[in-house]
Amino acid sequence: MPVYSRKTTDSKEALMNRWIGIGLILWVLFPVMAFAEIEGDTSKAQTSPAEEPKPGPESVDSSAPTPLEPSSTAPLQTQVNPPPTPENEASTEQGIVARGGPLMIPIGLCSLIVLTVFFERLWRLSTRHVAPADFVRKVLKLARDGAYEQAETACLQSETSFAQVAFVTIKNKHLPHGDVKGIAEDRGSQEVTRLERRVGVVGVMATIAPLLGLLGTVTGMIQVFQKIEKVADPDIGLLAGGIWEALITTGAGLTVAIPAYVMYRYLLSRVDQASLTLEEHSNDLLEAIGDDQTVTG
């Protein structure tokens, strides 16, 4: 009897786990870098020299002729700002992201991890990988006809979740009905656990992203108050500009967290749907085996 192998699937899962581990390591390192940047800004502010006075305008001889002097009656020219272009808008968006600070990088990594895991799980939870309709009909027909060896071969050649449940069910068909049902349920639980793999990562990212945004806002506010601490009459514009820059990370974190939570709940619903599908088809297979054994007996 050939043994089913999942080397290809295991290698893909190992590669995915490796990339997720790298992302989590980077996520741990960047908050430390943010605090290091705060300390660096503080030291620079303390050691920066005072601004040198600008030299006054040079004396001009009033007796010298000025032939190019414009007439006082000439109309004044007003400066007109050019209309915004896509290039200017893109540079503005890049500037906003850069002003968010180093914590924008782990927030971006969170969004990358969420999208990667979501689409990978969405692909794995599709019907063709859980219980394809054609394959289910083929196995049920072979079981009703008593062609168990062909049914086992078909299950071994398939990587779907239903194939794994059907294989152990047909292989242990000689046992009492209650024992066969228990074996099928145990195998079905293992497949559901496999389908749930890495779904929790999306939920974790949905929780971490706003916390990273809040951390970025706190560190940004610390920088703002450190800069205006020794200013006798701080400019309200400087304070407001520092505050809105600090709030960029909070907005970015919420922008990642809200869709991530929606994706997390959607994946959970797909897992529940796949679990019900496996249960229904497993019961159909048990009935097919039971009917065949009754006819044979």
- What per-residue confidence (pLDDT) applies to 102? 85
C-alpha–C-alpha distance, residues 210 and 226, integer Å:
24
Is residue 252 in some structural domain? yes
Share of the chain above pLDDT 90, in %: 46
- What per-residue confidence (pLDDT) applies to 59? 44
| CA within 13 Å, CB half, 93 | 7
pLDDT tens, position by position, 89-132: 545 556 667 777 788 999 999 999 999 999 999 999 998 999 99
Annotate 171-197 with three-state secondary structure.
Answer: HCCCCCHHHHHHHHHHHHHHHHHHHCC
Rounded alpha-carbon distances, angstroms, from residue 177 to 66, 149, 173, 249, 283? 112, 19, 8, 59, 11
Is residue 61 in some structural domain? no
Query: Residue 290: exposed, middle, or buried by beta-carbon count in 10 A (0-12, 13-18, 19+)?
Result: middle
Query: Residue 132: exposed, middle, or buried by beta-carbon count in 10 A (0-12, 13-18, 19+)?
Result: middle
Residue 100 is classified by DSSP as: T
Listed as own residue / partner, the contacts of 32-40 with beta carbons closer than 8 Å and 24 or more positions apart are 33/102, 34/101, 34/102, 34/103, 34/215, 34/216, 34/219, 35/219, 37/101, 37/102, 38/219, 38/222, 38/223, 38/226
DSSP per-residue string spanning 194-248:
HHTTTHHHHHHHHHHHHHHHHHHHHHHHHHHHHHHTT-SS--HHHHHHHHHHHTH
Identify the sign of the CA torsion 294, 295, 296, 297.
positive
Residue 87 has which token pair?
């290039």
- What per-residue confidence (pLDDT) applies to 99? 75
Mean pLDDT (whole number) for 259-283: 95
pLDDT at 67 over 60: no
Identify the sign of the CA torsion 209, 210, 212, 216.
positive
pLDDT tens, position by position, 175-195: 998 899 999 999 999 999 999
Contact yes or no for 278/165 (Cβ under 8 A): yes
Residue 151 is classified by DSSP as: H
- DSSP, collapsed to helix, strand or coil, labels residue 129 as helix
Is residue 190 in some structural domain? yes
Is residue 75 in some structural domain? no
Question: What backbone phi and psi angles, to 5 degrees, belong to 196?
Answer: -80, -5
Mean pLDDT (whole number) for 144-165: 92
pLDDT tens, position by position, 9-37: 445 555 555 655 565 555 545 544 544 45
Provide the residue count of the chain.
297
Is residue 168 in some structural domain? yes
Q: Based on the structure, what is the number of domains in the chain?
A: 1
Is residue 45 in some structural domain? no
- Predicted TM-score (pTM) of the model is 0.67
Residue 253 sits in which domain range?
A: 7-39+101-296
Which of 212-233 are b and which e, b meaning 16 or more Cβ less than 10 Å from the residue's Cβ?
bbebbbebbebbbebbeeeeee
pLDDT at 52 over 50: no
Residue 254 has which token pair?
């919420």
- What per-residue confidence (pLDDT) applies to 23? 56
- What per-residue confidence (pLDDT) applies to 60? 45
pLDDT at 48 over 80: no
C-alpha–C-alpha distance, residues 9 and 14, integer Å:
9
- What per-residue confidence (pLDDT) applies to 101? 79
| Interacting residues of 10 by C-beta distance below 8 A, sequence separation 6+ | none
- What per-residue confidence (pLDDT) applies to 231? 75
Residue 69 is classified by DSSP as: P
Is residue 182 in some structural domain? yes
Is residue 278 in some structural domain? yes
